[in-house]
Amino acid sequence: MESTERAVVRLTEAHTEHEGGKAVERGPLLVELAESATSQGARGSGGGGAGIPINLGVIALQDHIAGKLKQMQLALFMRQIKDPIEATIAVWAHAVTERHRGRIDDASWGWFVREFPDWVHRITEEVSPPSSIEMIAPCPSCGETRAVVRGDSVTAVVVKWYPEELSRAPIGKCRFCGAKWVGWGAMHYTLDVVDRGALAKLGIDVSVFIPKTLL
């Protein structure tokens, strides 16, 4: 896992990342996240079957981060800062100071140390992949069907796939229990988010995945 220091920089400052051997200039990841929540066209629009174009994953992630920031500020007896960038910088600086003073035990410190890299990981998953399409479905694993995020209904499982890369298996993941599914067969047979006809038009024959692997 990357250092927490570096994670805080990536979240809050413009910085350089190295992707596939190239140096890439990136904005603060928290800004990129906020921008992708409002730019409907930037990511998947369309999608088959039950799919609708959503940025609800981004909104759910923003809510997740806002909730964690609130908890951390409470834990550190700080005044609540709303702006996520300001809050992230302040929380980490404050946590480091308190740790030096011996006022944060190992368990709590571990929480602060792990939390920011976790956001980097989640934002990178949510924001970076080029032109992915998302589809949503109820979760066959935990049975969760719906939750409400800021008035919008969100279904449990989010499936991502990349129309430019049909050979790349789609991945479905439940927001609630964390169960994962991989591959077109699982999307069709287990999650029922794509119909066989739509896949056939894309040149994907789900019969090759037939139930032996799924039952």
Of 177, 196, 198, 209, which lies in the binding site for Zn ion, with binding defined by CB under 5 A? 177
135 binds Zn ion (CB under 5 A): no
- Name which of 124 and 141 has its Cβ closer to Zn ion: 141
Of 78, 142, 147, 198, which lies in the binding site for Zn ion, with binding defined by CB under 5 A? 142
Report the distance separating Cα 62 and Cα 123, nearest Å.
Answer: 9
Instruction: For the CB of residue 151, give the shortest distance to Zn ion in the complex, in Å.
Output: 22
User: Residue 5: CA atoms inside 13 Å, Cβ hemisphere, count?
Assistant: 1
176 binds Zn ion (CB under 5 A): yes
| Helix, strand, coil tally for the chain in percent (to 5) | 45, 15, 35
47: which 2 tokens?
């999608």
141 binds Zn ion (CB under 5 A): yes
The closest alpha carbon to 134, from 142, 143, 125, 144, belongs to 125
Q: Contact, 200 vs 172, CB < 8 A?
A: no
- Name which of 6 and 180 has its Cβ closer to Zn ion: 180
Instruction: For the CB of residue 172, give the shortest distance to Zn ion in the complex, in Å.
Output: 10
| Choices 9-17, 20-28, 46-54, 134-142; region in contact with Zn ion by CB under 5 A | 134-142
